[in-house]
Amino acid sequence: MTFLHVFRVKTVPELQGSYGAELWNWYAEFKNFSFIFRGGGEPWFTYNFHSWSIPVEFRGSIIVYSALLAFSRCRRFMRLACEAGLVFYFLYIADGWFGALFMSGMLLCDLDQLAARDQLPDFFLMLEPYREVIFPGLLAISLYLGGVPSHGWEVQILRESPGWYYLSFLKPQAVFDQKWFYLFWAATFLVACLPRMPWLKRFFETPFNQYLGRISFAFYLVHGPVLWVLGDRLYAAVGWARDSHASNCPGWINRLPLPRVGPLGLEVSFLVPQLILLPVTLWLAEIVTKWIDEPSVRLAQWLYRRTLGNDG
């Protein structure tokens, strides 16, 4: 916000008339955005659209914490049944896909801990001889479902997409945006497979992937502004102009047009800007991680310790 005003950069968020008006608009938006139980208004934050998922994740975390407390004294089978029951409720009865995702993660974690203590229910032990077939199969299904067409909410879009006609009939009535139903299963199958396929686990444990995990939150926060400020101009320069570029960055349009040859999503004119965008985004993510994210975590821990008493 400050950068855009200082350098008068036009981009997706429309600037207010003055910096003071911008600060007030930021405050007015953020105070509503920060209330995770709000029942109306836009679900995103104008100054960083991608941060819409933060309050959603917060609500999912509250569901997990509440379930942990509620099920803490249940015996093994009933605890697993209750966790699975909540997954079913959020996915097939209510339109609560985020709750289903978080509860599925809790269920998988519970099963992992039971497996580490050799306490899995007999049903899972019966499947052990077939693990070499089950997990590669689940991985393949996960990758396929993860590619669900998502450029609209209408189920007809799925039915008109090659390879998705019959799968479209699996969508529950409760789900409004159908992509989340298929992404739920894709994510669940993928997370279940990762620890049990050594070659795949080794890949995600490589130093670079671990580094990406460390900066992932900051990467998530900065990639949107980078795309608006720098990406829009680079894409306009190589020939990917759109209507908003005519008002935001007219001088960049077709400055260095490149051919649109190559497969969809791998065109030369699309890949060349990534040679600049990816390093810049990684660099900014490292800075935000080092100077904002990690200090914020330490500050929160320090504040928490200050609230603790010695009168236990």
> How far apart are the C-alpha atoms of 305 and 182, rounded to whole Å?
42
Q: How do residues 19-61 score in pLDDT, each as one tens digit?
A: 899 999 999 999 999 999 988 778 888 889 999 999 999 999 9
What is the spatial distance between Cα 277 and Cα 274, in angstroms, rounded to a whole number?
Answer: 5
Report the pLDDT value the prediction gives residue 90, as an integer from 0 to 100: 98
- Dump pLDDT digits (tens) for 286-306: 999 999 999 999 999 999 999
Do 110 and 80 form a contact (C-beta atoms < 8 A)? yes
Q: Taken in order 161, 162, 164, 166, is the CA torsion positive or negative?
A: positive
Cβ-Cβ contacts under 8 Å for 96 (sequence gap 6 or more): 89, 90
Q: Residue written as tokens 């320069």?
A: 237
Which tokens sit at 269? 């004119």
Q: What is the pTM of this model?
A: 0.90
Tell me if 55 sits within 8 A of 44, measured CB to CB.
no
Q: Looking at residue 279, what is its pLDDT?
A: 97
Cβ pair 13, 47 in contact under 8 A: yes
Q: What is the pLDDT of residue 311?
A: 63
The parts of the chain modelled with pLDDT lower than 50 are none
Sign of CA dihedral 159, 162, 166, 172: negative
Please give, one letter per residue, the 3-state secondary structure of the chain: CHHHHHHCCCCCCCCCCCHHHHHHHHHHHHHHHCCCCCCCCCCCECCEHHHHHHHHHHHHHHHHHHHHHHHCCCCHHHHHHHHHHHHHHHHHHCCCHHHHHHHHHHHHHHHHHHHHCCCCCHHHHHHHHHHHHHHHHHHHHHHHHCCCCCCCCCHHHHHCCCCCCCHHHHCCCCCCCCHHHHHHHHHHHHHHHHHHCHHHHHHHCCHHHHHHHHHHHHHHHHHHHHHHHHHHHHHHHHCCCCCCHHHHCHHHCCCCCCCCCCCCCCCHHHHHHHHHHHHHHHHHHHHHHHHHHHHHHHHHHHHHHHHCCCCC
Residue pointed to by tokens 């199958």 = 189
